[in-house]
Amino acid sequence: MTKDAASNETRYNQFVEEVVATGTVWGLSKDEAWATSSSADYEDEDVILFWSDEDSAKACAEDDWATYQTESVTLIDFLENWCVGMYGDELIMGTNWTQDLSGKEVDPLIVALDIVNLLKEKGETLEFTQYDNQEEFEKQLIEALEGEED
């Protein structure tokens, strides 16, 4: 693993841990648009960016995003609407990217599953609004990801 890949992985793990701890995910938005970047891993793909804290998001509000504002979403909204919706739209997620726009690019369902697994590990349960419970949400994530492998 390269140094950059290791740093990206560390920041990704930090993202998962911090959003579970705070229950909040941060992004940059302007009107209805959210900050995106071109994918470094996939040709002609955009990555929607999220951060685990407001200061990190705010630090990236420069250049093309200079007029963007930080915006928070609850962890439930992030999981049920952003992760699931991005998966349905075949979009890629970037977490805790740096000001030089480097970071890990991840399937949004993988992000959701990593968050649910950490919640389980900590003995915590979220109250889902679009699913009967956390176990049902996890089961559907796993089934969707297994379907990708076929």
- Is this prediction's pTM over 0.85? yes
Q: pLDDT class for 75, splitting at 50, 70, 90? A: very high
Parallel/antiparallel/unpaired status of strands 33-34 and 24-30: antiparallel
The residue-averaged pLDDT of 21-49 equals: 92
- 104 within 8 A of 8, measured Cβ to Cβ: yes
- Give residue 6's Cα distance to chain centre: 18
* CA gap 20, 3 in Å, rounded: 26
Q: What integer best gives the mean pLDDT of the chain? A: 93
What percent of the chain is predicted at pLDDT more than 90?
79
Going from N- to C-terminal start, the domains of the chain cover: 3-149
